[in-house]
Amino acid sequence: MMPVATVMPDDTPMFDPRILQELDWSENTTSFSPAISPLDPGDGLVLRPLCTADLNRETFEHMKRSGDYFVTVVEDTNLGQIVATATLVIEHKFTHSCAKRGRIEDVVVSGECRGKQLGKLLTSTLTLLSKRLNCYKITLECLPKNVDFYKKFGYLVSDENYMFQRFFN
């Protein structure tokens, strides 16, 4: 059973935590040394959904209501702080009969927790979660220096170009 962080009565998770507990970890395609998993992310750590107490309530409620955001965090229960996070966003693609496309965003690990494989854990977890949610594909954007990291999970470099316009700094 996955260790569960203390949840206050008004502290609502963004999505049902059981979905993380029920992932078929045998389908994970990368190795961890030392071994860690969603059920055992490390000493004093718990993998869980983002909760209302972690974020501005209005922003949290907007994301939760959509049902398409799976913000997953690793909490250091000794410090009561989030030390790593990643987001799975589900898009419904009109041109594919509204089939689901998963997109991993914002994989971030705090400096003091780098080297504990938490980025790997979050990426593996969200990749498996997208499969469980019946996404027809999953994508992510990364810097060239991070390509080899994501290849470990079976991600391929696309021939498509990533383009953007920035409206705010």
Per residue in 65-77, pLDDT (tens digit) is 988 999 999 999 9
Spell out the residues 6+ positions from residue 16 whose beta carbon is closer than 8 angstroms to its own. Answer: 49
Residue 136 has pLDDT above 50, yes or no: yes
Domains of the chain: 17-152 (3.40.630.30)
Among residues of the chain, what percentage have pLDDT more than 70?
94
Express each pLDDT in 87-109 by its tens digit: 999 999 888 788 999 999 999 99
Spell out the residues 6+ positions from residue 24 whose beta carbon is closer than 8 angstroms to its own. Answer: 128, 132
Backbone angles phi, psi at 28, to 5 degrees: -60, 140
Beta strands 81-93 and 99-109 are antiparallel
Compute the C-alpha angle 84/85/90, nearest 5°.
165
Segment (H or E) for 123: helix 118-132
> Which pTM value belongs to this model?
0.83
Query: What's the mean pLDDT when you consider all of the chain?
Result: 89
Spell out the residues 6+ positions from residue 67 whose beta carbon is closer than 8 angstroms to its own. Answer: 90
Contact 116, 126 (CB under 8 A): no
98: left (phi over 0), alpha (psi -120 to 50) or beta: left
Residue 7 has pLDDT above 50, yes or no: no
Reported in sequence order, the residue ranges of 94-168 that DSSP labels E, i.e. its strands, are 99-109, 135-140
| pLDDT band of 83, cuts 50, 70, 90 | very high
